[in-house]
Amino acid sequence: MPSFTFTGPYGDIECVVNNYKLNDVVLIMAHGFRGSRDGGGRSTAFAKLAEGVCKVVRFNFNGSQILSRQVEELQAVISAVREQYNPEKLFLLGRSLGGAASMITASRDEKIDGLILWATPNDLRKTFLSALGDELYKQLDAGETLHLEDERGKMDLTPDFLTDLDKYNLTEIMSKWQDRPLLILHGEQDVTVDVAQGRKNFELAGGDKEIYTFANGDHTFSECATEATAQIVKWLYSRT
Residue-level pLDDT at 20:
62
pLDDT tens, position by position, 171-188: 999 999 999 999 999 999
Q: Superfamily assignment of 3-238 in CATH?
A: Alpha/Beta hydrolase fold, catalytic domain (3.40.50.1820)
Q: What is the average pLDDT across 139-162? A: 91
Find the DSSP H helices in 166-224.
170-175, 195-204
What phi-psi label fits residue 131: left (phi over 0), alpha (psi between -120 and 50 degrees) or beta?
Answer: alpha
What is the Cα–Cα distance from 102 to 120, expressed in whole angstroms?
10
User: In sequence order, what are the beta bridge partners of 29?
Assistant: 58, 93
Average pLDDT in the chain = 94
Side chain identity at residue 173, one-letter code: I
Beta-strand relationship, 114-118 and 182-187: parallel
Domain boundaries, the chain: 3-238
What is the Cα–Cα distance from 196 to 7, expressed in whole angstroms?
38
- Residue that wins the pLDDT comparison between 52 and 86: 86
Q: Is the distance from CB of 187 to CB of 214 less than 8 angstroms? A: yes
Residue-level pLDDT at 52:
82
pLDDT tens, position by position, 69-117: 999 999 999 999 999 999 999 999 999 999 999 999 999 999 999 999 9
Find the DSSP H helices in 86-157.
97-107, 124-132, 134-141
- Of 215, 218, 216, 207, the closest CA to residue 183 belongs to 207
